[in-house]
Structure 1
Amino acid sequence: MGNSIKSAQFLMEARLSRAAYGSADECYDLGMAYCCGDGGMPIDLIEAHKWFNLAALRGSEEGQAMRAEIAEEMTAREIAEAQRAARAMIAATQLRAA
């Protein structure tokens, strides 16, 4: 069981690094992974909202819809935390790209 958790964590880390600079689809896929607990990872609606937000900013209508859907299950504080995390990700990727 420990190996499957480590494998899932490795896959998520690889997906995270690709999505930070990647397409709306990659961001959406990460949002789904966090939303549903894909690959044995725990469900994290704050992370899911962050990635759906980034997908939406990159033009994904599906990301927009999922962001709105999970926001209904979140507190205002959790949504604000997810938005701060998305802004921090945008700032970090812009700095690295410069």
Structure 2
Amino acid sequence: MARFEMLEAGFGDMGSTAQADILFELGMMYATGRDCGVDSIAAHKWFNIAAIKGSNRAAELRSELSQSMSKTDIAKALRDAREWMTTH
């Protein structure tokens, strides 16, 4: 499974637009199954974080994705996003 290494030096110093773009791409990767299996929960998580960082497109796709997800899956995605934001 392909992953972006988020802990590399300098990631925290990148501009919010660059961060949002990278996080959006993670959402797209999981939403489409590019280099990994399709995972709606992970896609929602990354779209949510990208939206918080300022990506309007991520917010739109998160909303679209939510329509096909159960409330339990959405809750898990939100918890995962909150946990990631807390630790990063």
Q: Would the alpha carbon gap of residues 83 and 27 (structure 1) be closer, same or farther in structure 2, given more than 3 Å must change?
A: same
Deviation at 1:16, TM superposition (A): 4.7
Deviation at 1:31, TM superposition (A): 0.1
Percent of aligned pairs with the same amino acid: 35
Deviation at 1:17, TM superposition (A): 1.9
Q: What code does the residue aligned with 2:80 have?
A: A
Q: Which residue of 2 aligns with 1:25?
A: 21
4+ residue runs over 4 A deviation = none
Q: TM-score, normalized by length of structure 1?
A: 0.76
Aligned length: 80
* 1:16–1:30 Cα contact (<8 Å) kept: no
CA distance in 2, matches of 1:52, 1:31: 5
Secondary structure at the aligned position of 1:17 is classed as: coil
* 1:24–1:55 Cα contact (<8 Å) kept: yes
Question: Which one has the bigger helix percentage?
Answer: 1
Q: 1:64 pairs with 46, 59, 62, which one?
A: 59
> What is the Cα-based RMSD across aligned positions, in Å?
1.6
Structure 2 unaligned runs (5+)? none
- Report whether the alignment pairs 1:42 with 2:37: yes
- Report whether the alignment pairs 1:88 with 2:83: yes
Secondary structure at the aligned position of 1:42 is classed as: coil
